[in-house]
Amino acid sequence: MGYDYTQWDEEVEKLLSRMTLREKIGQLNQIPEPKGREQIEAYKEKLRRGEIGSIILASSATAGNDQKRNIDIDLCNELQRTAVEEGPCGIPLLYGRDVIHGHHTVFPVPLAQAASFHPELVEACCRDTAREAAAESVHWTFAPMLDLCRDPRWGRVIEGWGEDPFLASVMGRACVRGFQGADPADEDSLLTCAKHYVGYGASEGGRDYHRTEIADYTLFNYYLPAFRAAVEAGTGTVMSAFNEISGQPVTSSRKYLTDILRGWLGFEGFVVSDWAAVQMLVRCGVAEDRVGCAKLSVLAGLDMDMVSGCYAENLEDLVKKGEIPEEAIDLAVRRILRVKWAKGLFERPYCRPRAAARKKHLDDARVLAAESMVLLKNEGVLPLKKGMKIALLGPFVREKRSLLGSWTLDYDLSDVKSLLEAMQERVGKEELGLCSDETGLFDNMAETVRQADVVLLALGESWETTGERRSVSDLALPASQRELIRRARALGKPLVGIFFCGRPLAMEGAAEFLDAALYAWHGGTKTAEAVCDILWGEANPSGRAPMTFPRRTGHIPLYYNVTSSGNFVNGYYGEEVYPCYVDSPASPAYPFGFGLSYTSFAYGEIQAERLRLSLDEFLAGEEFRLTVEVKNTGDRDGKETVQLYVHDRTASRMRPLRELKAFQKPFIRRGETAELTFCLGAPQLGFYTEQGSYIVETGVFDIYIGENCLTENKISIRLV
């Protein structure tokens, strides 16, 4: 475990023994930030009675797409002073906020961060974020989001780490460590909240809040590993998901919240609901009224009710009537108080405003943005040469807000440069040609393009089409942008598409007309500068696709870690691509792990110290040790993301054709060779049964080490 929350149990028990039932229930009650002086005074009266445990600094459930509201530090301290100095037991408030991918300094959306395949850098940037937010009264962030997602139509796909459980586990662990630091009690640390537990990313059709159907075998092998990683890293809290799984709303499911989360995963912190999820149990059809909602949720193991008020209104009566034992309330309070002690709130309840090291944070944001960008295509056009005349066209030439992405509440737009501003700063206005047509039709672009050596098209999707309640039915680039690409192509100049997006788009109708395509994502405050770093070769692109890029929306779901079929119809890996659909090839436009560089890398054959081990030796701790040489054969230094995949050929359950089990991202100078070593043990070659038991079986395992999931560089090992 990354942190022992039970170490505070002695202090917790002393406090618990002094609390009335109403005061205990108050700790389970989270309410939204107050609006106006009248509501502030009403909150103070509640605090004097011990009826509030936490305040969420958000205006609504969809705060990520709401109008920006800054934190009032003085108000937070004012309310905290009432709780600590006038409350019945002096228990401090816990302030939570959606600090997802930055605070004042905005980093790339998490899905883009996953594309960096650089967990150490992600951890450092989360540390930067924690320092900024903690300096403004925030104790607790509702991150990381660990929802495995195979459908990029879902608007919240931007908040997670993509389609792979191993990559999500690595990045989720880095995020927890970055936010919480060495000790969550540190003044510049934030408590984390692993969300949304569990399966929310599997919403049918990518439609937010919709039902999910997840078999236990799939749950244990795909949807739970990232939560295990977060628990092992020491996350203080977990958020229950809106969705139901096979008829059980997670908010009221003892199986998921207690048996699996606390029993199987060993979680010691507390569970908070998602926004008003407790009262939604009526609409789910498992509770008749708000009384039933409160009873079901608290007995399932849900500790804190986010804003619905069901706990505050009903738990006291339910205990007095004998429908809920007071021990169930005590258990929830213990968990919450443990976390408050661990956060250091009893020792340091008030916020001390302080300046953050913004220059360092902005520098880190620029590096992470560049490392997250994925070069999807390059037919010798990039990097650009000095002195080239550039035509700059498209709807994102002057755009700023969308570069930040959704779920950023505290940004400062004055920190953000548009692509035009960043390029003017880089090369000067005289080398840039702009189309002056403000209608969006670009009818007069021919003369601008004629005078240019290369055409840059700034394309993408608005931040308002991503985030909560922002799903889309069509992943294609908007028709107007596809038309712009075709018109520009007809003019005969080299064409570079720069895509500012939160999710992978369907690339048919766009990529084939481009000479180069750079996926810049919604990359945060320093997106535009990082794009320029890539375009002019000051940064060598090293991002890799954290999700599959489909050709068409109709190919969704399309993900790399798929099982085989009785017929040869797995289009992802080239098996009879056309029989999957009679109207289009079923292969991905760009597979998981794909990304180009300005240099080239050659992989040697995989070497193994041994190819065979007995199962007994293996389970006793013996490992397969594999090495591979990777040579930089190009004329530039660069980073290569070396990926290791496993395929269990024959097993008692159908196993994926490829599973990412390890990766390394070495920096290799031109002409030099790096020798990389990977060790495979029981955690890499086994799987979970539908009962949650981890097993390793005998048989042959194909091990692939290469540049993406389609690599054919492999070796076979055997357990006997």
Residues 273 and 314 both lie in one domain:
yes
Identify the band that residue 3 occupies on the pLDDT scale cut at 50, 70 and 90.
Answer: confident
- Whether 439 has a pLDDT exceeding 60, the answer reads no
Place of tokens 């002057």: 398
The predicted model gives 183-188 an average pLDDT of 96
Q: What is the pLDDT of residue 415?
A: 96
Q: What is the pLDDT of residue 71?
A: 95
The predicted model gives 639-661 an average pLDDT of 98
Ramachandran assignment for 492, one of left (phi > 0), alpha (psi -120 to 50 degrees), beta (any other): left
* Domain final residue pick, 555, 587, 621: 555
Q: Give the CA-trace dihedral at 513, 518, 521, 527, to 10 degrees.
A: -130
Q: What is the pLDDT of residue 428?
A: 86
Buried (b) or exposed (e) across 340-379, using 16+ Cβ within 10 A? bbbbbbbeebebeeeebebeebbebbbbbbbbbbbbbbbe
The predicted model gives 299-306 an average pLDDT of 98
The predicted model gives 75-91 an average pLDDT of 98
- Whether 30 has a pLDDT exceeding 70, the answer reads yes
Look at residue 110 and tell me if it is in a domain: no
Number of domains in the chain: 3
Tell me which residue of 416, 501, 504 sits closest to 464, measured CA to CA. 501
Q: Which two tokens stand for residue 654?
A: 């159908």
Using DSSP, state whether 423 is helix, strand or coil.
helix
Look at residue 131 and tell me if it is in a domain: no
- Whether 536 has a pLDDT exceeding 90, the answer reads yes
Instruction: Return the H-helix or E-strand segment holding 480.
Output: helix 479-490
Residues 179 and 300 both lie in one domain:
yes
- Whether 432 has a pLDDT exceeding 60, the answer reads yes
Q: Tell me how crowded residue 9 is: count the other CB atoms within 10 A of its CB.
A: 15
Q: What is the CATH number of the domain that holds 707?
A: 2.60.40.10
Cα–Cα distance measured from residue 334 to residue 327, given in angstroms and rounded to the nearest whole number: 10
Residues 333 and 222 both lie in one domain:
yes
Residues 319 and 378 both lie in one domain:
no
Across the chain, how many H-helices and E-strands are there? 23, 29
Q: What is the pLDDT of residue 492?
A: 94
Q: What is the pLDDT of residue 441?
A: 61
Phi then psi for 301, rounded to 5 degrees? 115, 15
Q: What is the CATH number of the domain that holds 42?
A: 3.20.20.300
Residues 316 and 385 both lie in one domain:
no
Look at residue 578 and tell me if it is in a domain: no
Buried (b) or exposed (e) across 66-77, using 16+ Cβ within 10 A? eeeeebbbebbb
Asked if residues 531 and 498 have their Cβ atoms less than 8 Å apart, the reply is yes
The predicted model gives 644-668 an average pLDDT of 98
Residues 534 and 388 both lie in one domain:
yes
Residues 383 and 331 both lie in one domain:
no
Pairing label, strands 607-608, 714-719: unpaired
Write out pLDDT tens, residues 604-642: 999 999 999 999 999 999 999 999 999 999 999 999 999
3-state SS of 72-135 is CHHHHHHHHHHHHHHCCCCCCCEEEECCCCECCCECCCHHHHHHCCCHHHHHHHHHHHHHHHHC
Q: What is the pLDDT of residue 114?
A: 98
Residues pairing with 195 in the sheet: 145
- Whether 105 has a pLDDT exceeding 90, the answer reads yes
Cα–Cα distance measured from residue 574 to residue 578, given in angstroms and rounded to the nearest whole number: 9
Tell me which residue of 125, 131, 129 sits closest to 102, measured CA to CA. 129
Using DSSP, state whether 320 is helix, strand or coil.
helix
Residues 327 and 390 both lie in one domain:
no
Look at residue 436 and tell me if it is in a domain: yes
Active site residues: 274
Look at residue 93 and tell me if it is in a domain: yes
pLDDT > 90: what percent of the chain? 92
Q: What is the CATH number of the domain that holds 392?
A: 3.40.50.1700
Residues 198 and 79 both lie in one domain:
yes
Q: What is the pLDDT of residue 186?
A: 97
Amino acid present at 37: R
Identify the band that residue 433 occupies on the pLDDT scale cut at 50, 70 and 90.
Answer: confident
- Whether 283 has a pLDDT exceeding 80, the answer reads yes
Q: Which strands, in side-by-side order, build the sheet including 237-240? A: 193-197, 237-240, 270-272
The predicted model gives 381-386 an average pLDDT of 96
Q: What is the pLDDT of residue 430?
A: 81
Identify the band that residue 479 occupies on the pLDDT scale cut at 50, 70 and 90.
Answer: very high
Residues 540 and 650 both lie in one domain:
no
Write out pLDDT tens, residues 681-691: 999 999 999 99
CA 637, chain centre distance (Å): 29
Identify the band that residue 284 occupies on the pLDDT scale cut at 50, 70 and 90.
Answer: very high
Asked if residues 640 and 618 have their Cβ atoms less than 8 Å apart, the reply is no
Instruction: Give the residue numbers spanning the domain of 26.
Output: 5-100+138-342
Q: What is the pLDDT of residue 659?
A: 98
Q: What is the pLDDT of residue 639?
A: 98
Look at residue 611 and tell me if it is in a domain: yes
Share the mean pLDDT of the chain.
Answer: 96
Look at residue 572 and tell me if it is in a domain: no
Count CA atoms within 13 Å of residue 239 on its CB side.
Answer: 26
Write out pLDDT tens, residues 554-574: 999 999 999 998 888 889 998
Pairing label, strands 454-460, 516-519: unpaired
The predicted model gives 648-665 an average pLDDT of 98
Tell me how far apart the 2 most distant CA atoms of the chain are, in Å: 82
Residues 312 and 415 both lie in one domain:
no
Write out pLDDT tens, residues 223-260: 999 999 999 999 999 999 999 999 999 999 999 999 99
Pairing label, strands 495-500, 642-648: unpaired
Provide DSSP, 276-307: TTTTTHHHHTS-SSHHHHHHHHHHHT--BEES
Write out pLDDT tens, residues 140-172: 999 999 999 999 999 999 999 999 999 999 999
Write out pLDDT tens, residues 33-58: 999 999 999 999 999 999 999 999 99
Look at residue 51 and tell me if it is in a domain: yes
Identify the band that residue 575 occupies on the pLDDT scale cut at 50, 70 and 90.
Answer: confident
* Domain final residue pick, 500, 530, 555: 555
Residues 160 and 252 both lie in one domain:
yes
Tell me which residue of 313, 252, 247 sits closest to 281, measured CA to CA. 252
